[in-house]
Structure 1
Amino acid sequence: MQAIRDDLTTRAAYVSDASIYRRVPAAVAEPSTVEEIRELLALARERGWPVTCRGGGTSVAGNAIGEGLVIDTSRHFNRILAIDPDAMTATIEPGVVCDDLQAATAEFGLAYGPDPSTHSRCTIGGMVANNACGSHSVVWGTSADNLVAVTVMLADGREVSLERGGTSDERVTRELERIRNRNLAVLRTELGQFPRQVSGYGLHHLLSENGFDAAKAFAGSEGTCGIITRLTVRLVRRPAHTALAVLGFADAFEAAAAAHALRVPGVYTIEGMGADLIEALRMRPGREDAGSQLPRGGGWLYCEVGADTADGARQRAGELAALVADRVVDSAVIPEGPEARALWAIREAGAGVATRLPDGGEAWPGWEDSAVPPARLAEYLRDLYALMDEYGYSGIPFGHFGEGCVHLRISFDLASEGGLARYRSFIHAAAELVHRYGGSVSGEHGDGRARSELLSTIYSPAALRAFAEFKRVFDPDGVFNPGVLVNPEPIDRGIRPGPGARTFDVAAVQAFSRDGGSFASAVDRCVGVGACRSDVGAMCPSFHVTRDEVHSTRGRARSLAEMLRGESITDGWKSRETLEALDLCLSCKACVAECPVNVDMATYKAEFLNRHYRSGLLSFVGPGRRPMAHFTMGWMPYVVRLLSKVPGAVRAVNWLESFGPVEALTKRLGGIEPRRRMITFATQPLTAWHRQRNGAARGGDAVVGRSGDAGETVVLWPDTFTNFAADAPGRAAVEVLEAMGYRVLIPMGEVCCGLTWHSTGQLGQAKRALRQTLDVVAPLLEAGCPIIGLEPSCTGMLTHEITELLPDDARAANVAQLAVGFGTFVAAHLDAGKAWPFRSLTGHGGAGDGGPAAAVCQVHCHQKALGEGAHGYGPELRVLERLGVATSVVGGGCCGLAGNWGFEPGHYEISQRLGERELFPAVRAASEETIVLADGFSCRTQIAQGTDREGVHLAEVLRSALPGQHLPGR
């Protein structure tokens, strides 16, 4: 039997989904077979646990959490069992992720129609359970509409199959017929009145005219009637070509008013959003130009059309504006491709982006998925906004305007008793409003804990009785997901960010400038949309390997939130459970860029470690001591600097470490993973080489530069790794920059960005190192010289973390403005049309004579986290293209070493598995002539220790393009 996980570390990770609700489960299980599910249900009966089934945990209504046993089917019970391209169906297990099914059916030209914005991580079982829809529901309908058959397990372990015409169980079939026959008027007049009316149970599917479809009636039951063990779903034919018509309107209301007129044949989506969503997105780091490609307007509709040819799709898309000519103010037609995908990314980020308003305030789900008949959407939306104004609330609308469904996050005050009372009053008033428009409190994603109480507002007592009868047919003892749909819990019970959520919130060491200085507010950024569980992108590396919710960014955020609350995790910052949850965080910072709300788990981890352990050198001895690796790796800048000052010491250390027993003893004493190889140190620091090369120092001992150079002065940053361990990139950078016409200075004093202390949570020492650094470089700051970083992680400290650690030091802000990555600086030089002394590397290996040189590029995770724009990897790619180098960028994000993390015991297996995802295979597959490019010292170390190749820095590639030089390794 699958092991039950009842440890607090796991339970804390499952306390919430993407809703505002919190329930601490008694246990979690991740079955892989039907028999294991049966055994789990028997155990739940024995222990008196209610049962909640969970897929991707992206529910916004609180229907994927519970206080008993949570059965998570996403990790193991996720096989695609059969695809029938002739019948256009697929048979699957419930834990199959939507995108995985899309990928498997694409080879047949087919697709699964429902595609909610969480399609990269939500499971089909969860989609069917919550009757999810997605942007293409205009043409392909809801999950219920695309369900052919479903097999469910009841609380007693029996499996029942449901399909059109009935079920495999005669008793169940008779009871469903009885419910239908007793409630014909209710089913025909209250249910199924418009496409997005999904609140309650879909009993109208039991009508004879609807084929007595028991499977479709079960869809949307939100885990309250049984556990789905198998599904057969309908597939649809993908259009050969698509084009996107983006229509601009004066505001979101005008867009809503126009939407229903666009429900014409050939239109696959009619998605709407307002300018507020764009403003909120532009608040995100690196997204300042978001939406710049949109046509003029204050509200927009995305209308995708399909056709047999690309020209036909573009032509049909171009005709749509004429259908709403009286309202549209501007329009654009975008053919299928990168630009269209970029526009869709804006819409799909809405669920996360909308949780932070343009003014930085928090916004929450609650009135999340209301829907009305499409022709009445504009009227309803105006009245809803008037109601929000009455309560002093603001929010950001977006959603399926063509279907009358609106997603909306609102600035509720959920942290106080008064705020909760006001929340409750608003929700009931909103339910009355939507009922007046003939609408539904839920247009997809189910009612859950957020809206089940409201069913009595929109449905008659007779309809509610029919719902209760339906649940009793499948779940007479109320085992499954109690409190949802039938006998609902109060909508204000167990609010996660509610009163008492911040027992252990104290003044943070770091500024948390985006969150008002509050660590708890920073943690609350995680609203649970689960982008960290996606296989797309770099977030979250450890989850990609383990598939364990605890190791997702969301799971860690939930553990931190539980620690701050102090109810389940009661020892606050000393929590071993939270330490365990954070242990596999590589501090790669992918979440900063890829999380829709820019959760920064690396920063949260540093803050936690700083408080979890005592400060200073004494923290490495006695009870509650830090891991010795935090000293060995964290204090490395200090130790190697001391060694470099003792003549012959570095050479002696390298020589001693070349002996296996000595290296093993060093690793044991230093708390280093025994399977790692120790790094070697440069016998002459870069700074010493530069001083010797350029003669006497200019301006005292602060900096050294070539005295005869003319032209602009730049500062090359001597980070610890480049200065003391791998100086080849530094030497190459000096030669390259001088060849480009710059006078190169290097600080000679004791400078350090504090990275190793920050990543090990020794924030006091990181701040001291930075203050000392600022004292040394003060003259350079006054001169305004660009500060060029070679090590991406150190450059990131200088451009981002320095102002969070020293928010009141103007010099820190100056450094953040002046610091720039090496590749970005060279690209700016190139773009400015300045002297370009480099020859093309075309014809110098990789693709045969006359072909471009080839390179496999591992992008440093901190560099990737800053995006592909001015401060990401895009500039470096432009430089390589100019050099005639054909580049292949390794996907997958972090290399797996992640600085000190990969050298700490207990991380080796995960580190190697991360390397084996894409990096190691790509390097091994590269020819000997191919350049292996990695700007990060950690990346180069991981490559050297995981393959038989050595990585080089961009500076070394550029030096090879100078006259008389050759490619690295040639």
Structure 2
Amino acid sequence: MSRPGAEAYHELKAALSASLPGERLIDDPLRTLAYGTDASFYRLVPRLVVRPESEAELRLTLAECRARGLPVTFRAAGTSLSGQAVTDSVLIQLGRGWRGHEILDEGRAIRLQPGVIGARANQLLAPYGRKIGPDPASIASCMVGGIAANNASGMCCGTAQNSYRTVRDLRVILADGTLLDTADPESVAAFRRSHTELLAGLERLAAETRGNAELAERIRHKYRLKNTTGYALNSLVDFSDGIEILKHLMIGSEGTLGCIAAITYDTVVDEPLKAAALAFFPDMAATCRATIALKRSPVSAVELMDRAALRSVEDEAGMPEVLRTLPEGAAALLIDVRGNDEAELQARLGEVQATLEGIRPLEPVGFTRDADTYALYWKIRKGLFPAVGAVRETGTTVIIEDVAFPIERLDEGVLALTDIFHRHGYAEAILFGHALEGNLHFVFPQGFERPGEVERYQALMDEVAQLVGVEYGGSLKAEHGTGRNMAPYVELEWGPEAYALMWEIKALFDPENLLNPEVILSRNPTLHLENLKPLPAAHAIVDKCIECGFCESVCPSRDLTLTPRQRIVITREVARLEALGAATGDDDAARLAALRADLGHAVDATCAVDGLCETRCPVGINTGDLVRDMRRRRLGHHAGLARRLGAHFDGVTRTARSTLRLAGAANRLLGDGVMGAISQGARRLSGERLPQWTPALPQAAPVRVLKRQADAEASRPRVVYLPSCATRMFGADRRDDGESRSVMEITLALLERAGFAVVIPERVDSLCCGMAFRSKGQFDEADHKGRELNRELLAASESGRHPILCDTSPCTLQMQEHLDDCLELQEPVAFAHDHLLPRLDVTPVGERVAVHVTCSSTRLGLGDKMVALARACAEEVVVPAEITCCGFAGDKGFSVPELNASALSGLAEQVAGCSAGYSNSRTCEIGLSRHGEIPYRSILSLLDRASRPG
């Protein structure tokens, strides 16, 4: 197929711009690279990224592309591992406008649009005791569109509960723009009339396949295993009606036959009681015998880990000591058993124990119900992939492949596979997987830059494909999708007859081969060795990034500019182009200049540096640290100003309070509308340098309440109270009729009510934890303010004898990371839950309230405590879904207000009907009040309202 020229893409953008806004038609060098990168080790940069937000816009995009012969690729989360979500043509991203959902049949089914994250679907189903069947390891990040399009499975769903087996209905948009809703009889009837030839062709292929006994039996055999290699040919033997065949062919088709605009799943029971055991065996043969025996028992999951896999995690914190003492050749099974009630769970555990009696493990197998131990076992299993990523050589990628052997030959397959790896020089490869299905993942670092590396990789994959696909009759792709990586081997695994059948299917759906060409089916035998992604050294903080995208779902700027993964992608590309130096051609030089021009806003200014990305990153990267270091390098010449601000910090806070009083007076005089217009105008004239005024701007805080001494009564426990600089500046929301006191006043009242003697540190107005400086890259002054604060807190707490309460969660996190370990630092949620609740009588207020768990609370592991505290104080508590960091980020709510607005998009709808919202960061509460359209207060205000002395 000849490649369209640049003019065709310019024409496409011009045609689409009549219906789609310009910000959703993207062709600049920075964002096309960033948005076009997925989790695979392939790199293609799209010429145009289109973000349709409705089916009508998607159909229009397909029509305009088809009119110009331009290939298109659909993308949801981009966590795909096999290269099925990259393109050098048109990339269609399905994001914010595709997150609709509907619970059906009291939870027995759920209708989901492709932009819904898998874990969100299960969150919606949790009240019904149900979940979707597929459970990929990336479920907290991947989206339903990708889950269905790849027929992703996971640890517990096997082949019985994957998308193919649990799909009830689909809304599908085909290459010609036709929309089919299989749940709508009228849509089906119209489709039968308009697409008679397509349906007849599918029914003919099904009849011919069923009539070919040898081929039909081969297909049935292949799908006894997990299998995502090629198209779902089992649809041709499982169904005879064209609509049903089409519906099931779409599952696992990776966007090559059409776009899944919505899927309705039949849900499965989510058994609430869980137990797990980590069983160790002397060798792989014994491990596989145990697996085969367990296949017939009532287990939910059996995860196999070889000795190399266990060794890769044995030195990590919290790992069981036994991992270090296992003999060479040993292996382990993580056995998971679940039940709906105690009797069922105990019966199943007894049956599993009886199954294992004839197989000798290295030590007795004991199941645990303890939540922490259960979580530790799964942490071991889930940590295997990142363990390889964390120790690989900079510049190499991590390859994870997944194959499936017939379970009765699993032990032979494992040994043969291990031998292949060693013969090709991949001694560091580890093996693990979903043993019940014979599904093994093998993970190894791979470089492509050095001479001979590509050839070595090719030789490895050729031999693996021959072993698994031919000699053992297994699957070369069990659950990760065919993609580009395995497309050259589809015919080898399936044989010429089945492969020809797949091409016929493709021709029926997409005769012009415009939907994701070269994915699943390709005539190019070296496709898997082309367009390999460079991973150059860029910065020590992020060089271990494997670009998996797990971080993206919690990033507040994900719908505005870039995600952590994308920031790293851009940083790497700049480093690569800079390293070329004089060798950089004109095109690369222009590209580098364009990237540098956009770095400031996309990479730096709109990053909240909240650290949530680290909580999801398999290799523990905090991309905020990268951005802070960029700011340090850029703002080094402002160190003198930072020192002056730090030295006169009490003056800074006084000036801020004076400014708030002036702003309040002007607002009372002019009103919200005029005040907002003046602020926006001034901001535009300043080149976006002046802060944006918001109607949620609070009153000035009354610091006079801090002029108090510690109670001398020895019987009262003492607590050191450190009000943050934010609460020393920002008082109550002037529009909030329900709370007129500052956080300081509320905190002091609660401490008094609970019987604490309060100590206020000396020179409190001058104190700062340093976060305000550190977040801007002024590390030296941040460290100086931290040391200054450390001295004062040591004195006030009598060297750690008394606990220290800071009323702002982000400041507490900063102090815990940088101050002396002897200081017992507490933030509002933990202190209220652990120390105030036991000393107070609490009667829940009869209201519906919202709770915002701040990014720092999440990083401190306090989300559950915060919700529990709110539920102790109010009759109904709402925790808005998919609202993570609010994006206010200290002062960015004023300087980059669009970040706060994007991060809190949809908040108002979720908290409608709530009397108020509660959090534990005063600046966050400003943005939350603005975009939630209800007042947000300190969580201590809620406890104060609900409590009386105990």
Output the CA distance in 2 between the equivalents of 1:49 and 1:252.
Answer: 53
> Does residue 1:127 correspond to 2:147, yes or no?
yes
| 1:723-872 paired onto structure 2 within 5 Å | 729=744, 732=748, 746=762, 752-763=768-779, 765-766=781-782, 769-770=785-786, 788=804, 790=806, 791-800=808-817, 802=818, 815=820, 818=823, 820-822=825-827, 840-842=839-841, 845-846=843-844, 858-868=852-862
Give 1:492's aligned residue: 529
Match of residue 18 from structure 1? 39
Note the C-alpha offset of 1:404: 0.7
The structure-2 alpha-carbon separation of the partners of 1:343 and 1:387, relative to structure 1 and needing over 3 Å to count, comes to same
For residues 628 and 63 of structure 2, what CA distance do their matches in structure 1 show?
A: 43
Instruction: Note if 1:540 corresponds to 2:555.
Output: yes
Q: Which amino acid aligns with 2:472?
A: Y
Shift of residue 372, structure 1, vs aligned partner: 0.8
Letter in 1 for 2:623: M
1-structure distance, mates of 2:748, 2:64:
65
1:448 Cα offset (Å)? 1.0
- Which residue type is aligned with residue 446 of structure 1? G
* Shift in alpha-carbon separation, 1:562–1:45, aligned structure 2, 3 A: farther
Deviations 1:728-784 (A, max 9, x none): 649839977997689875467965432112323444654565577679889999967
Give the corresponding residue for 1:215. Answer: 246
| Aligned-partner Cα distance in 1 for 2:270–2:658 | 68
Is the Cα–Cα contact under 8 Å of residues 855 and 888 in structure 1 kept in the other structure?
Answer: yes
**Correspondence for 1:270:** 302
**Correspondence list, 1:152-551, <5 A:** 153-157=173-177, 169=198, 172-173=201-202, 176=205, 180=209, 185=214, 188-189=217-218, 192-193=221-222, 194-203=224-233, 205-207=235-237, 214-215=245-246, 218-219=249-250, 222-223=253-254, 225-229=256-260, 235=266, 238=269, 243-246=274-277, 248-250=279-281, 253=284, 254-264=286-296, 266-273=298-305, 288-289=317-318, 299-305=332-338, 310-325=342-357, 326-328=359-361, 329-333=363-367, 342=375, 346=379, 349=382, 353-354=386-387, 356-357=389-390, 365-390=398-423, 391-414=425-448, 416-417=450-451, 419-435=453-469, 436-455=471-490, 457-485=492-520, 486-488=522-524, 490-498=527-535, 501-502=536-537, 505=538, 518-521=540-543, 524-528=545-549, 530=550, 532-533=552-553, 539-543=554-558, 546=559, 550-551=561-562
Q: Distance in 2 between matches of 1:316 and 1:82?
A: 31
Q: Which secondary structure state, in structure 2, belongs to the residue aligned with residue 411 of structure 1?
A: strand
1:58 equivalent among 68, 79, 88 = 79
> Residue 63 of structure 1: CA displacement?
0.6
Q: Is 1:27 the counterpart of 2:44 in the alignment? A: no
**Residues 654/897 of structure 1: CA separation in 2 closer, same or farther (3 Å cut):** closer
C-alpha change, 1:478 and 1:658, in structure 2 (3 Å) is closer
Task: Choose 191-200 or 345-354, whichever is displaced more.
Answer: 345-354
In the alignment, is the contact (CA less than 8 A) between 2:542 and 2:623 conserved in 1?
A: no
Counterparts in 2 of 1:740 and 1:863: CA distance versus 1, 3 Å: same
**Amino acid paired to 2:93:** D
- Within 2, Cα distance between the matches of 1:241 and 1:917? 30
Q: 1:520–1:564: 8 Å Cα contact kept in structure 2?
A: no
Task: Provide Cα deviations, 1:456-505, integer angstroms capped at 9, x if missing partner.
Answer: 5545455544444443343343322222232245323233344xx34xx3
- CA distance in 1 between counterparts of 2:936 and 2:94 reads 42
Deviations 1:836-875 (A, max 9, x none): 9x983216x5459xxxx9997654421321214xxx875x
- Per the alignment, residue 603 of structure 1 pairs with 625
User: Partners of 1:211 and 1:234 in 2: how far apart?
Assistant: 20
- In structure 1, how many angstroms separate the alpha carbons of the residues matched to 2:105 and 2:875? 41
The match for 2:725 among 717, 720, 723 is 720
| C-alpha displacement of 1:315 | 0.9
Indicate the SS of the match to 2:292: helix
Deviates more, 1:886-895 or 1:758-767: 886-895
Contact 1:224–1:475 (CA<8 Å) still a contact in 2?
no
Partner of 1:114: 134
Sequence identity percentage: 21
The CA deviation at 1:280 is 6.9
Displacement after TM superposition at 1:643 (Å)? 5.4
1:404 is aligned with what amino acid? G
Counterparts in 2 of 1:781 and 1:108: CA distance versus 1, 3 Å: closer
Would the alpha carbon gap of residues 51 and 955 (structure 1) be closer, same or farther in structure 2, given more than 3 Å must change? closer
Letter in 1 for 2:773: W
Report the CA distance between 1:250 and its aligned residue.
3.3
> What letter matches 1:865 in structure 2?
R
Write the distance in 2 (CA, Å) between the matches of 1:656 and 1:820: 35
Structure 1 residues 821 and 224: CA distance shift in structure 2, 3 A: closer
Q: Give the Cα–Cα distance (whole angstroms) in 2 for the partners of residues 167 and 324 of structure 1.
A: 55
Q: Would the aligned equivalents of 1:244 and 1:334 in 2 still touch at CA under 8 Å?
A: yes
Aligned residue for 1:624? none
Name the TM-score, length of structure 1 as normaliser: 0.73
In the alignment, is the contact (CA less than 8 A) between 2:552 and 2:564 conserved in 1? yes
SS, match of residue 169 in structure 1: helix
Residue of structure 1 in register with 2:892 after alignment: 901
Preserved CA contact (<8 Å) 1:896 1:914: no
Which structure features the higher share of helix residues?
2
Aligned partners of 1:857 and 1:151: how far apart in 2? 35
Pairwise CA distance, 1:311: 1.0
The residue type equivalent to 1:757 in the other structure is F
Q: Distance in 2 between matches of 1:157 and 1:440?
A: 33
Displacement of 1:900: 0.7
**What secondary structure is seen at the aligned counterpart in 1 of 2:475?**
coil
Deviations 1:329-359 (A, max 9, x none): 4445567x97798579648955864554589
Q: Report the Cα distance in structure 2 between the residues aligned to 1:761 and 1:551, rounded to whole angstroms.
A: 20
* Residue in structure 2 matched with residue 938 of structure 1 by the alignment: 923
Deviation, structure 1 residue 362: 9.8
Alignment pair present for 1:916 and 2:935: no
Corresponding position of 1:627: none
Q: Which secondary structure does the structure 2 equivalent of 1:660 belong to?
A: helix
TM-score, length of structure 2 as denominator length: 0.74
Aligned position for 1:641: 650
> 23-32 or 732-741, which moves further after superposition?
732-741
- Residue identity in the other structure for 2:258: I
1:672 shift after superposition:
1.6
**Alignment partners' CA distance in 2, 1:331 and 1:185:** 44
Report the 3-state secondary structure (helix = DSSP H, G, I; strand = E; otherwise coil) of the residue aligned with 1:366.
strand
2:480 match: secondary structure: coil
Alpha carbons of structure 1 residues 636 and 383: separation in structure 2 relative to 1, 3 Å: farther
Q: Could you give the per-residue CA deviations for residues 372-395 of structure 1, whole angstroms, max 9, x where no partner exists?
A: 112222332344344444524435
The offset of 1:443, in angstroms, is 0.6
Counterpart CA distance in 2 for 1:40 and 1:167 is: 25
Question: Is the alpha carbon distance of 1:417 and 1:615 closer, same or farther for their aligned partners in structure 2, counting shifts above 3 Å?
Answer: farther
Structure 1 pair 104/888, CA: closer, same or farther in 2 (3 Å)? Answer: closer
Corresponding residue number in structure 2 for 1:929: none
Structure 1 gaps of 5+ residues are: 507-517, 534-538, 620-630, 695-705, 803-813, 831-835, 926-931
Q: Answer yes or no: is 1:144 the counterpart of 2:164.
A: yes
- The letter for the 1-side match of 2:486 is R
Spell out the pairing of 1:605-620 with structure 2 (5 A cutoff).
Answer: 605-611=627-633, 615-616=637-638
Q: d(CA) in 2 for partners of 1:955 and 1:746?
A: 26
Residues 363 and 438 (structure 1), Cα distance of their counterparts in 2 relative to 1, 3 Å cut? farther
> Counterparts of 2:933 and 2:488 in 1: how far apart (Å)?
59
Q: Which residue of the other structure, out of 53, 56, 70, is the alignment partner of 1:49?
A: 70
Contact 1:242 1:305 in 2 (8 A): yes
2:61 partner letter? L
The separation in 2 between residues aligned to 1:719 and 1:540, in whole angstroms, is: 25
